[in-house]
Structure 1
Amino acid sequence: MAEQNDFKIPIPENKSIDEDFDYSQRGQWLRAAVLGANDGLVSVASLMMGVGAVKHEVKAMVLFGFAGLVAGACSMAIREFVSVSSQLDIEMSHMRRTRANTKERENTEQLPNPVLADLASALAFILGAIVPLLAALFIVNHKLRLAVVTAAITVALVVFGWIGAFLGRTPVVRSCVRVLVGGWMAMAITFGLTKLIGSSSL
C-alpha cells in the first residue's frame, strides 16, 4: 500500500497557485491602465485647478476639464498604440532571427498587444478624468468647489495607488504615497503658476 504514493507529483507545502502566476503577462495591460487612470486624474484635475485659479464660474472649469478629457484620452490611446506597436515589431523581429538561428519555436503569448494597451489606457484615462468633473459639476460656490475637487482627487489618488499596488503585487503604502504626492504637486504647481500669470499684466 505504501507504493501508491510513488507516482504522485510532490507539491511543496508553502507553494501557492498565486506564486505560479506570470505577472509579466498582466503587466502588458496593467501598466497602460494604471498610467492612463493616473494621467487622466492628475492632468484633468490640474487643468481644472489652473482654470479655477483665475475663473470662478463652474462652467469654465467643467468645459476645460471635458476638453482635457477628450484630448487626453485620444492622445493617450495614440501614444500607447504607437509605443506598443513599435515594441511588438522589435520583439517579432528578434523572434524571427532567433528562430532562424536555433530552429526553435517561440512563445507568442507574452508578446505585447497594441490594441489591448490602446483600449486600456484610453478607458482608464476617461475613468480618472471623470472624477474631478463630477466633483465640480454641481457646486456653484467657487471655494467649496476647489475644496471638493481636491478632496475627491485625494481619495481617487489613494484608491488608484492601492489598485496598482494590489494588481502588481507591489508595496501598497509606497505606491499610494508616491501617487498622492505626485498628484498634489501637479495640482499645486498648475494652480500657483496660473494664478501668478493671471494676476500679472501679461
Structure 2
Amino acid sequence: MSQKNDVCIPVSDVTSEQEQCQVSIHENFDYLQRGQWLRAAVLGATDGLVSVASLMMGVGAVKHDVRAMIITGFAGLVAGACSMAIGEFVSISSQRDVEVAQMKRGGYNDESQKDSLPNPVQAAAASAIAFMFGAIIPVLAAAFIVDHKVRLGVVVAAVSLALVVFGWIGAVLGRSPVVKSCLRITVGGWMAMAITFALTKWIGSTGL
C-alpha cells in the first residue's frame, strides 16, 4: 500500500495506471512533428541525389570524359547545398519572425517559449548536410569507372538503390506504406534522370 494525504491507494493500482500511461504516451506519440523533420531530411537528401545525378547524366549524354561528369557533380553538390541552406535559413527566419510577433501580440514574452522556436541556423545546416549526403552518392559512383556506358549504368544503379533506401527510411519512421513510398521516390528519380539525359542528348545532337 502507498499512502498520500491520508488516502490509501493499492500499489497494484498505481502500477497499473503507470503502465496504462506509458502505453497511452506511446500510442499518442506525435508522428506529425517527427514527420516534419523527417520530411526535411529526406527531401534534402533526395533532392541532392536526384538533381546531381540528373546533372551528371545530362553531361554524360554528350561527353564521355569522366572528369567532366565529376566536375559537374561536384559543382552541383556545392551549389545545391548552398542554395538549400540559404533557402531554409530565409524560410525559417521568416517563420520565426511571424511566430515571435504573434507571441508579442498575445502578451507572451517568456524566453523559454522563444527558445522552443525553430532555429534558422540549425535548419540551414541540416538542409545543407542532407543535400550533400545525397549528392555525394552519384559522384562517388562515377569517380572510379573509366568506361562511359558502364559508368552511366553504375550511376543509375547506385542512385536507384539510394532512392529505395531513402523511401524505406521515410516510410518506416513516418509509419507510412513502405512499398508505395519506395516506388514513388524511385520512379520520380528515374524520370528526372531520363528526361535530363534525353533532352541534353537531343540538344547536343542538333548542334545548338
1:160 lines up with 2:166 in the alignment = yes
> Counterpart of 1:21 in structure 2: which amino acid?
F
Q: Could you state the TM-score of these two structures normalised by the residue count of structure 2?
A: 0.85
Deviations 1:31-70 (A, max 9, x none): 3221110010000000000000000011110010000001
**What number of residue pairs does the alignment pair up?**
200
The structural deviation recorded for 1:15 is 2.2
Among 95, 101, 106, the residue aligned to 2:103: 95
The residue number in structure 2 matching 1:68 is 76
3-state SS, counterpart of residue 150 of structure 1 = helix
Equivalent of residue 137 in structure 1, options 106, 125, 143: 143
Determine helix, strand or coil for the equivalent of 1:170: coil
Stretch moving more, 19-28 or 87-96: 19-28
1:123 corresponds in structure 2 to 129
Deviations 1:75-105 (A, max 9, x none): 11000110111111111212222236xx999
- Structure 1 residues 82 and 13 mapped into 2: Cα distance closer, same or farther (>3 Å)? closer
CA distance in 2, matches of 1:96, 1:61: 52
Name structure 1 gaps, 5 residues minimum.
Answer: none
The SS at the match of 1:112 is coil
State yes or no: 1:183 paired with 2:200.
Answer: no
- Percent of residue pairs bearing the same amino acid type: 66
Check whether the contact 1:99–1:106 (CA below 8 A) recurs between aligned residues. Answer: no
Q: TM-score, normalised by structure 1?
A: 0.88
Which letter does structure 1 place at the counterpart of 2:202? L
Give the alignment's Cα RMSD to 1 decimal: 2.6
Check 1:16–1:140 CA distance in 2 against 1; reply closer, same or farther (3 A cut). farther
In the alignment, structure 1 residue 35 sits paired with structure 2 residue 50: no
Question: Equivalent residue for 1:193?
Answer: 199
Q: One-letter code of the match for 1:63? A: I
Please report how far the alpha carbon of residue 117 of structure 1 lies from its aligned counterpart in structure 2 after TM superposition: 1.3
Q: Return the letter of the residue paired with 2:74.
A: F
CA contact (8 A) 1:166 1:172 kept: yes
Change (3 A) 1:73 1:60: same
Cα distance, 1:23 vs structure 2 = 3.5
Q: 1:151 to 1:43 in 2, by over 3 A?
A: same
Q: 2:89 aligns with which of 78, 81, 84?
A: 81
